[in-house]
Structure 1
Amino acid sequence: MHIAPLSPHDPTELGGYELLGRIGHGGMGQVYLGESPGGEPAAVKVIKPSVVDSETRQRFAQEVEILKTIWGARIAALLDADPEADRPWLATEYIEGLDLSRHVASHGPLPSLLTASLGATLAEALATVHKQGLLHRDLKPANVLLGPNGPKIIDFGLAVFAESSVSLTAPNTVVGTPSCMPPEQAGGEKPLTPAVDVYALGAVLLFAASGHLPYQATNIHVLFHQVIDPATAPDLSGAPDELVPLLTAMLAHRAQDRPALDDVVRQCRALIEAQGFKVAQARRRLTSHTAAPARIPDSLLSAAEAPTAPLPPTGVPAGTATAPPTTAEPEPGTTRRLPPTATDPAPDLTPGPGATRGVPPTGPDRVPTLADGPLPESGTRGTDVLPEPAPGTGRDPAVPPAPVPPAKARTRRPRHSAQARITAQRLRETYAASAPF
């Protein structure tokens, strides 16, 4: 999910939530990434000051009340809200990931197996909403978020109670997304039934499988005419053959000809099992295919939370850039000396004949620590035992003097580098000096 920095005109805090960046916007408001005092991320939706009036507040308050009513594993949960504030706001569960519209635009349509899994998941979620006496009325690809735990439905701003003819919509006006809207909703019929969400889900699944919606037109009036006209069939081109019968039924012109959501779930299960998979397997494949890695850009975090650079070697001032040495020979004045022993009053990090690199010296003055123990075999977890240096060279023949390679070419196992062994030695020294036993 793209997160943009706050602008100078954006609030930095609402209802105790610290606002970190912008994650979306619309004609009525702005959505921010927020964080609670306890560190819980949230999507904070705020109504724009320019559109705040009594009707907007009433509609916003209705959305809050609906979000308090609905529940379900595939519904973004309400966290807090204040529709009476100077800038009305609500906070919902933050879902890290792309919406379906952006995912298809970036990665292409989903295979039929994953589309069927998405259909079963969303149909079950909508059935839960309907059991609570509600209709979504604005299901579309942008309102399906593909999170790390699977898809979730968001934005119940246009949701209404089923079988109700009462609406905040002005007479002779239609609200919603025309390209995903069923004919009865586009024609302004009241009351609406659960079949409106079945149609919208069919449009979402068609988009997931083919990359386009049932009707497309650059002119809004032409688009409405296509949706309402019973003679204009939806465009199912590009949809896999095995999905066409289900999509045709879900996008039927008459509401009574569309299947119930429970039947949609059963048909999606049959499509999954016909390909040799169980529903749970298909769900896992869908999540692994669509989920983005959870992350919040470091630029949005405070300095105290941002990742810190490793400490420089002893003797090097803070902020001084250092690079791993090309040989095992430490630079004068940049490394700490080891504690004196009975055999060597001033040993350094350069191994002598018969010595092993990275192993603390022993002797009567040596303080044993938990770091001590039997030496592991070469190549095992821990400090590797290296061969003796070539006579008279003072360096390890296994580490030839060569330029430091680019970052991408460096090994991902730092215990094999000279700098890693030097750092480990210093850590052991520090731990030994502070250990109480």
Structure 2
Amino acid sequence: MQTTPLSPEDPAQIGGFELLGRIGQGGMGQVYLGESPGGEPAAVKVIKPSVVDSTSRLRFAQEIDILKTVWGARIAQLLDADADAEQPWLATEYVEGPDLGKHVMTHGPLPALLVLSLGATIAEGLGYVHKQGLLHRDLKPANILLGPNGPKIIDFGLAVFAESSASLTAANTVVGTPSCMPPEQANGEKPLTSAVDVYALGTVLLFAATGHLPYHANNIHVLFHMVTDPATAPDLTGTPPELAPLLTSMLSHRAEDRPTVSKVVQQCRALVEAQGLKLAQARRRLTTYTAAPLQEFLSVLPAVASQDVTPPAPALSDPADTPPGNGPRSAPADESAAEPTLFLTSPHQAPVGLPAQPESTVLAPQSAQDERGDQEEENPSNAQNMPRRARGTGRPPARSLRHSAQARRTAQQLREAYAARAAF
């Protein structure tokens, strides 16, 4: 996950977490890389002072309550939070790695076998969420982090209890990411069921396999019409043949026609085993393939970049594979894994308040009709079709600075350098 220096107006710490850099930002808040007093890295989300009001506090408190409830190996865990602070904040487990959207936009689509591994892993994680009576409601490529221990689901800010029809949003509004939203959610139907997350996972897997989402349009209302129109089929262009039946069923217009998350796991497993591998082996290959080089702070300042960091060797592919980034289906630059936050009170009102980074969409429906650990086996049968990492070069591995005094000194250097270059 790319980290940038703190700006002069950023706090040095929040809730006892020392802040080391910026991870990302949106319309509601800023996310920092932090370190606990005991040296534990964390993603610290802070609500911007300009948007702190009773409604934002209530929504933030709901997100904290959800994070206290959900658990599982595929969920970024809550560490600490304070919804009543002057600037409400929460700290979650820090996942070292890019989100799926950035990885695909940078390196191109994943091989089909790895998409199946991703699907089984995330579907199993969603199964634990659903067993607790919860729905994510905003699953998208940007909310899947590709960490060193496998993919993890983040951002439960829009999560709700499955049996509840209540919402913190205004009446007749739709909340979510349009391109990843199922028709019933786009139509404002309540209560929603676990099928909404199955559909969203289908859009995530389609993006992972092809670099595009099922529906895309320049106009938000045209996009919503495409999503809700049963006669407009999702765009599966470029989908590998072995994935097409599964994705078609997951993206079914009617919720009752979609498989359950447990069925998704079973189908992914069957397709992986048909290629001569166990699912656990495919998962390890996914983690190896998507593991990104560490983003050390020193890389921001060329003058000191050579002090401590030796970059890991790049990923290599077998001759039979197309290297990441040069595949025939690389994502176009103008297609994003997420949508910007829009607040529309009528179908003709212009968007306002676009954030620097994409988040979710809040949109009023247009009409009454639209309301809405083992070692891998040597030389598996299809090993020639899978990318492998380069062998070691004999150099010592890159040393992480995040848990050391050097990390704090580096963060201070970055603050001072940033302040020296700033025009204010």
Q: Same fold (TM over 0.5)?
A: yes
Are the counterparts in 1 of residues 4 and 297 from structure 2 also a CA contact under 8 Å?
no
How many correspondences in the alignment? 309
Q: CA–CA distance in 2 between the matches of 1:9 and 1:39?
A: 24
Q: What residue number does 2:178 align with?
A: 178
Structure 1 residue 230 corresponds to structure 2 residue 222: no
Q: What residue number does 2:126 align with?
A: 126
Which whole-Å deviations, capped at 9, do the CAs of 1:179-201 have from their partners, x for residues lacking one? 00000000000000000000000
Structure 1 residues 283 and 10, CA gap change in structure 2 (3 angstroms)? same
Structure 1 residue 244 corresponds to structure 2 residue 251: no
CA displacement at 1:296 relative to structure 2: 3.3
Q: What residue number does 1:328 align with?
A: none
Structure 1 residue 136 corresponds to structure 2 residue 136: yes
The 5 A counterparts of 1:150-169 are: 150-169=150-169
Secondary structure of the 2:242 match is helix
Say which structure, 1 or 2, has more relative contact order (CA 8 Å, 6+ apart).
2
Q: CA–CA distance in 2 between the matches of 1:10 and 1:224?
A: 37
Are the counterparts in 2 of residues 180 and 203 from structure 1 also a CA contact under 8 Å?
yes
**Counterpart code for 2:133:** G
Q: CA–CA distance in 2 between the matches of 1:268 and 1:181?
A: 22
CA displacement at 1:293 relative to structure 2: 3.4
Structure 1 residues 239 and 41, CA gap change in structure 2 (3 angstroms)? same
Q: CA–CA distance in 2 between the matches of 1:292 and 1:23?
A: 15
Structure 1 residue 81 corresponds to structure 2 residue 81: yes
Q: CA–CA distance in 1 between the matches of 2:308 and 2:147?
A: 28
| Higher alpha-carbon Rg | 1
Q: What residue number does 1:430 align with?
A: none
Are the counterparts in 2 of residues 148 and 293 from structure 1 also a CA contact under 8 Å?
no
Which whole-Å deviations, capped at 9, do the CAs of 1:205-239 have from their partners, x for residues lacking one? 00000000000001101000000000000000011
Which whole-Å deviations, capped at 9, do the CAs of 1:110-134 have from their partners, x for residues lacking one? 0110000000000000000000110
* TM-score for the superposition, normalised by structure 1: 0.69
Secondary structure of the 2:30 match is strand
Secondary structure of the 1:34 match is strand
Q: CA–CA distance in 2 between the matches of 1:114 and 1:23?
A: 26
The 5 A counterparts of 1:261-410 are: 261-298=261-298
Are the counterparts in 2 of residues 119 and 265 from structure 1 also a CA contact under 8 Å?
yes
Structure 2 gaps of 5+ residues are: 310-392, 397-424
Identity rate of aligned residues, in percent?
Answer: 77
Structure 1 residue 62 corresponds to structure 2 residue 62: yes
* TM-score for the superposition, normalised by structure 2: 0.71
Are the counterparts in 2 of residues 20 and 300 from structure 1 also a CA contact under 8 Å?
no
Structure 1 residues 412 and 94, CA gap change in structure 2 (3 angstroms)? closer
Q: Which runs of 4+ in 1 moved over 3 A?
A: 293-296, 298-301, 306-309, 411-414
CA displacement at 1:2 relative to structure 2: 1.3
CA displacement at 1:285 relative to structure 2: 0.5
The 5 A counterparts of 1:167-206 are: 167-206=167-206
Q: What residue number does 1:94 align with?
A: 94
**Counterpart code for 2:99:** D
Q: CA–CA distance in 2 between the matches of 1:180 and 1:97?
A: 22
Q: CA–CA distance in 1 between the matches of 2:75 and 2:264?
A: 19
**Counterpart code for 2:147:** G
Secondary structure of the 1:125 match is helix
CA displacement at 1:412 relative to structure 2: 7.2
Structure 1 residue 45 corresponds to structure 2 residue 48: no
Q: What residue number does 1:116 align with?
A: 116
